[in-house]
Amino acid sequence: MKKTISFLFLFSMIITANAQKKELTNEQFFKNNFKGIINNMPSGFTWIDDAHFTYSKDGKKWLFDAKKNTEREATDADKMVESKKIPIVFSKGNDLFIKIDNAEIQLTNDSAKEINPTMSPDNNYVAYTKLNDLYTVNIATKKETRITNDGSDVILNGYASWVYMEEILGRASQYRAFWWSPDGKKIAFFRSNDSNVPEFVITDAPGQHGVVDKTRYPKVGDSNPEVKVGMASPNGGEIVWADFNEKNNQYFGLPYWKPDGKTLLVQWMNRLQNELNIFEVNPITGKKTEFLKETQKTWISLDDEGNRISFLQNGKGFIYMSDQTGFEHLYFYDIAGKLINAITTGKYTVTEINFIDEANSVVYFTGRKENSAHKDFYRVNMDGKKLQRLTFGDYNHMAINLSPNAGYFITSYNNVSTPTKMSLVSNEGKVVKDIFDSKGNDFDNTALAKTELIRVMSDDSLYNLPMKITWPVNMIPGKKYPVLISIYGGPNAGTVMDMWTLNGTQQWYAKEGLIQVAMDHRASGHFGKEGVNYMYHNLGYWETKDYSTMVKWLIANGQADPTKICITGFSYGGYMSCYALTYGADVFTHGMAGGSVIDWALYDSHYTERFMGTPANNAAGYKSSSVLTHADKYKGMLQIVHGIADENVHLQNSIQLTSKLQDLKKDFEFMTYSTGRHGWGGNKGAHFQNLKTKFIYKNLLEKPVPKEMLK
């Protein structure tokens, strides 16, 4: 009885304290205007040299001296940071122009569109593709040179095939598949032959006769593009082809020119994606020699950002990034490809090399070591000794702005309960000055929902799984609250970080009594490649198992209503939502799934086979990972949404699921969006948001939707 009275007294004190704080207004809920609660961050931080930087705040520009720890308003002279006048190339209509000293010069003049114009490092040429051939234009003479001559609908020179863009070179490439040598004297490029790649046809409804869209899209087990690696002079002439057989079942990753431009490093991978060979190719003869080799029992991911190899400027070696030990680490090699030593080791992940101080043999890098939900900044000697954390506190140092020679850095940091701050720090880890705190004067006097990052032990006691929760405002002891779980879920694609967030929708739903959750499973990247390897040949299972463990914790400890557990996501997150409502139907009761993969046999070759192999060598895995296999377990309510013109995850996926549920006489919601690809905006985007809002109010909150919530 005494414990009950004590708890009720404490609870009443919390309610009283919250009641004394300011409530958020509709302006804050629906327009995200948090002025006074959160201050606007300064911007435009630019290092002038290794000790001085400028930045903008309150409409003024300031100059800071890191050595003297002083600042003053910047003068016109301070604002003029010296820089070379680099020509800027741009497109206007279907032609290319270059801007030099504010003068525009037209470089091309024809009806065909030039794609991905890219300046040579010596600023003498622009390379681009046109009608699937590779071209250059000499800036001084305006002479256009056609490098290749066989471009067609199925022969792509310097322009990536769909699966290479999506899965290997990355969407940021915008299909560009050519690369200048550092001296501007050579261009390497991919020539893709899509002749044997199956064509996927998408039909949509606009107009009297509809629209047909065809994509060369290799699904699991299909023929991939046949790729050749070519090297050419920007002035044309004979193309030298690297000594590979394009008929082999293989992939080529992002190539690297050596700093002297004399040889090209080509990443080659077998179709099973468990063997990576980096070959050194002579651009004059095309002859290749093995440079570096890596194998793993599961798979190796090809990098699409050029992070795998970082060359030293002195030409004597490079740093190689690899997760071969189970965690991403750095390795020092000589320029011939011989391992000298590991630079970092241990059960933590290196995420980025920020700077290599060759004079002092020091590497500066970002990693997730102290806490997998935090990024921190470190320095370590090239020989692997004297590892030092340079950032501080129990914070996520989400952005590092390093001075040109790594004498100082500016860190932007926060955590779930601390709004973003900025500090200037020396390369020894000493805080020189606290620059900024975004916490406003009204912050402590405003009733904001509480957000926490907690850890839940996995069922097998191997992993402390991270979960970020925004709790309902003024929770009543003993009352059960509905849960909305937002996930992505894919391999090494975690979304839970210990970081500050504040938005009107989050706060509104907390006021309405919704427990809002983001959660990551063992294969999300928090536990390195070691954890991600669990997903090999077994997509869906471990994610659902770990998610279920965290939901059970919420039910037992977080006042979660077991009859209102909703999971939502898009793409892989859509797959997880569908899988949770079928395979995991004993835990998850509601779901909203957009652009979902339903059966992995329906997705592209490179992504799927990396994790799942093929149906020929993993038939059981494909069966167990398919949502269709578990459709008979479905017993909740699932909202299924898909863009009709989705060229990435085809509408075919959702159609097969809805057909299966119809055959099983199951109830569900289904919505398609004409012209919608893998995501959509405009009024259709607003309609989609309203659709989800209505689902939440109907099934979780069980009350009418306030008109303010509809877009």
Same domain, 398 and 480: no
Same domain, 169 and 241: yes
Band of the pLDDT at 82, cuts 50, 70, 90? very low
Same domain, 135 and 174: yes
Average pLDDT score over residue span 219-224: 97
Average pLDDT score over residue span 677-700: 97
Alpha-carbon separation of residue 372 from 369, 376, 492 (angstroms): 6, 10, 12
517 in a structural domain: no
Q: What distance in Å separates the CA atoms of residue 5 and residue 100, rounded to the nearest whole number?
A: 78
Residue 235 scores a pLDDT above 80: yes
Average pLDDT score over residue span 581-609: 98
- CATH number of the domain within which 374 lies: 2.120.10.30
Tell me the DSSP string of 43-102. EEEEESSSSEEEEEETTEEEEEETTTTEEEEPPHHHH--------EEEEETTEEEEEETT
- Domain span at 598: 473-489+541-709
Q: Which of 30, 32, 61 is nearest to 44 (CA)?
A: 61
Instruction: Say what percent of the chain tops pLDDT 70.
Output: 96
Higher pLDDT pick, 326 / 78:
326
**Under 8 Å between Cβ of 233 and 209:** no
Lowest mean pLDDT: which of 68-77, 123-132, 309-318, 558-567? 68-77
- CATH number of the domain within which 161 lies: 2.140.10.30
User: What is residue 482's predicted lDDT score, i.e. its pLDDT?
Assistant: 98
Residue 216 scores a pLDDT above 60: yes
CB atoms within 10 A of CB 551: 25
Same domain, 289 and 143: yes
317 in a structural domain: yes
Alpha-carbon separation of residue 226 from 167, 300, 350, 504, 527 (angstroms): 16, 21, 34, 50, 36
Residue 503 scores a pLDDT above 70: yes
Residue in the block written with tokens 């995420």:
351
Same domain, 162 and 257: yes
Of the residues 294, 319, 351, the one at which a domain ends:
294
For the stretch 52-70, pLDDT in tens is 999 998 889 999 999 999 9
566 in a structural domain: yes
Residue 403 scores a pLDDT above 60: yes
User: What is residue 17's predicted lDDT score, i.e. its pLDDT?
Assistant: 53
Same domain, 96 and 158: yes
Lowest mean pLDDT: which of 10-24, 123-137, 350-364, 512-526? 10-24
Instruction: Say what percent of the chain tops pLDDT 90.
Output: 92
Nearest-10 crossing angle of helices 541-557, 572-580: 60
Highest mean pLDDT pick, 85-94, 270-279, 297-306: 270-279
CB atoms within 10 A of CB 694: 16
Q: How many CA atoms does the CB half-sphere of 467 hold within 13 Å?
A: 27
Alpha-carbon separation of residue 415 from 102, 418, 630 (angstroms): 45, 5, 39
Band of the pLDDT at 102, cuts 50, 70, 90? confident
Query: E strands of 323-417, at which residues?
Result: 329-334, 339-342, 349-357, 362-368, 376-381, 388-389, 396-402, 408-415
Of the residues 395, 427, 446, the one at which a domain ends:
446
Residue in the block written with tokens 């959702």:
654
Q: Which of 336, 329, 276 is nearest to 300 (CA)?
A: 276
CB crowding 230-252: b at 16 or more within 10 Å, else e = bbbbbeeeebbebebebeeebbb
Q: What distance in Å separates the CA atoms of residue 455 and residue 627, rounded to the nearest whole number?
A: 28
User: What is residue 103's predicted lDDT score, i.e. its pLDDT?
Assistant: 85
Residue 80 scores a pLDDT above 80: no
Q: How many CA atoms does the CB half-sphere of 209 hold within 13 Å?
A: 2
Residue 85 scores a pLDDT above 80: no
Residue 18 scores a pLDDT above 90: no
348 in a structural domain: yes
Mean of all residue pLDDT scores within the chain = 94
Q: What distance in Å separates the CA atoms of residue 40 and residue 27, rounded to the nearest whole number?
A: 17
Q: Which of 611, 608, 590, 588 is nearest to 598 (CA)?
A: 608
Same domain, 162 and 249: yes
User: What is residue 8's predicted lDDT score, i.e. its pLDDT?
Assistant: 42
Residue 617 scores a pLDDT above 70: yes
Looking at the DSSP assignment, which residues form a beta bridge with residue 357? 362
Q: What distance in Å separates the CA atoms of residue 584 and residue 597, rounded to the nearest whole number?
A: 16
Residue 3 scores a pLDDT above 60: no
For the stretch 115-136, pLDDT in tens is 999 999 999 999 999 999 999 9
Same domain, 70 and 186: no
CB crowding 8-17: b at 16 or more within 10 Å, else e = eeeeeeeeee
User: What is residue 83's predicted lDDT score, i.e. its pLDDT?
Assistant: 46
CB crowding 626-654: b at 16 or more within 10 Å, else e = bbbbbbeebebbbbbbbbbbbbbbbbbbb
Same domain, 121 and 237: yes
630 in a structural domain: yes
Per the structure, the count of domains in the chain is: 4
Strands 329-334 and 637-643: unpaired
Average pLDDT score over residue span 504-530: 97
User: What is residue 4's predicted lDDT score, i.e. its pLDDT?
Assistant: 40
DSSP helix/strand/coil, 220: coil
Of the residues 32, 58, 79, the one at which a domain ends:
79
Same domain, 135 and 284: yes
**Under 8 Å between Cβ of 614 and 566:** no
> What angle (nearest 5°) sits at the alpha carbon of residue 362, between those of residues 403 and 379?
70
Q: What distance in Å separates the CA atoms of residue 580 and residue 497, rounded to the nearest whole number?
A: 23
- CATH number of the domain within which 639 lies: 3.40.50.1820
Same domain, 371 and 479: no
Gyration radius of the chain over CA positions: 28
318 in a structural domain: yes
Residue 667 scores a pLDDT above 60: yes
User: What is residue 450's predicted lDDT score, i.e. its pLDDT?
Assistant: 97
635 in a structural domain: yes
Q: How many CA atoms does the CB half-sphere of 253 hold within 13 Å?
A: 23
Q: What distance in Å separates the CA atoms of residue 79 and residue 84, rounded to the nearest whole number?
A: 15
User: What is residue 177's predicted lDDT score, i.e. its pLDDT?
Assistant: 98
Residue 634 scores a pLDDT above 90: yes
Dmax (CA) for the chain in angstroms is 92
Q: Which H or E element spans position 201?
A: strand 199-204
Q: What distance in Å separates the CA atoms of residue 577 and residue 596, rounded to the nearest whole number?
A: 8
CB atoms within 10 A of CB 209: 7
User: What is residue 76's predicted lDDT score, i.e. its pLDDT?
Assistant: 77
User: What is residue 260's predicted lDDT score, i.e. its pLDDT?
Assistant: 93
Q: What distance in Å separates the CA atoms of residue 334 and residue 605, rounded to the nearest whole number?
A: 35
669 in a structural domain: yes
Q: What distance in Å separates the CA atoms of residue 45 and residue 61, rounded to the nearest whole number?
A: 10
Same domain, 564 and 700: yes
